[in-house]
Structure 1
Amino acid sequence: MSASPDPEHRDLDLDLDGLAVRREVLGARHVDASLERADEITAEFQEMITRYAWGGIWTRPGLDRRMRSAITLTALVAHGHFAELELHLRGALRNGLSRDEIVEVLLQSSIYCGVPAANSAFAVARRVLAEEDPTD
Structure 2
Amino acid sequence: MEKVTAGRKELGDFAPKFAELNDDVLFGEVWSRETELSARDRSIVTVTALMASGILDGSLKFHLENAKKHGVTRTEIGEILTHAAFYAGWPKAWAAFRYAKEIWSE
Which residue, out of 15, 21, 25, partners 1:52?
Answer: 25
Q: TM (normalized to structure 2)?
A: 0.84
Alpha-carbon deviation of 1:51? 2.2
What SS does the aligned partner of 1:82 have? Answer: coil
List alignment gaps of at least 5 residues for structure 2: none
Work out whether residues 7 and 23 of structure 2, in 8 Å CA contact, stay in contact via their aligned partners in 1: no
Q: TM (normalized to structure 1)?
A: 0.67
Higher Rg: 1
Alpha-carbon deviation of 1:34? 5.0
User: 1:41 corresponds to which residue?
Assistant: 14
User: Aligned equivalents of 2:23 and 2:6: distance in 1?
Assistant: 14
User: 1:64 corresponds to which residue?
Assistant: 38
2:50 corresponds to 1:76: yes
1:102/1:91 Cα in 2 relative to 1: closer, same or farther (>3 Å)?
same
List alignment gaps of at least 5 residues for structure 1: 1-20, 24-30
Total equivalences in the alignment: 104
User: Aligned equivalents of 2:2 and 2:91: distance in 1?
Assistant: 30
Which residue, out of 41, 55, 62, partners 1:87?
Answer: 62
Question: How many percent of aligned residue pairs carry the same amino acid?
Answer: 33
User: 2:86 corresponds to which residue?
Assistant: 111
User: Aligned equivalents of 2:5 and 2:36: distance in 1?
Assistant: 28
Alpha-carbon deviation of 1:40? 2.8
